[in-house]
Amino acid sequence: MLRELIDNGYGVEEDFNCAEKILNGANEAYGLGLDKRALKLAAGFGGGMMTERTCGAVAAAVMVLGLLTTETVAHQSDRVKPIVQDYLSKYEVNMASIECAPLKKAYRTEMAGCQAVILKAAEILDEVVTRNALIK
């Protein structure tokens, strides 16, 4: 699904940042129905919210999970918290952090950029979405 889409070069031509790749790619892979204006919400999350803090790919994955688990607001959903916690836990176990700076230090390369970080974010998102039957 999403991982395969990104692995096949999705977002490269558009010059998407990490968060944009996840949100735009998930919109396509999962049929979220977000319009172009809504997809701009991911712009400021790239590069760890432009400050190398929380990874933009992870932040965008949390946006997707919020959309898929919440009818109106988070406080009215009994699914959003455990599913987001599960995602973050799995990501941190696999990558040792959810923070941009250490992820870049460990995984970013000159040639591929943060592709390994983004692919892992997509892979775990696919897994969580599938296991919890969040898309039809």
Q: The whole model's pTM is what?
A: 0.96
Tokens of residue 93, six digits: 């176990």
Q: Following DSSP, what letter does each residue of the chain receive, concatenated? A: -HHHHHHTTTTTTTT--HHHHHHHHHHHHHT----HHHHGGGGGGHHIIIII-B-HHHHHHHHHHHHHH-SS-GGG-SSHHHHHHHHHHHHHHHHS-SBHHHHHHHH-BTTTBTHHHHHHHHHHHHHHHHHTT---
Tell me the per-residue pLDDT of 40-76, one tens digit each, with 9 for 90 and over: 999 999 999 999 999 999 999 999 999 999 999 999 9
Q: How confident is the model at residue 85 (pLDDT cuts 50, 70, 90)?
A: very high
pLDDT (0 to 100) of residue 136: 75
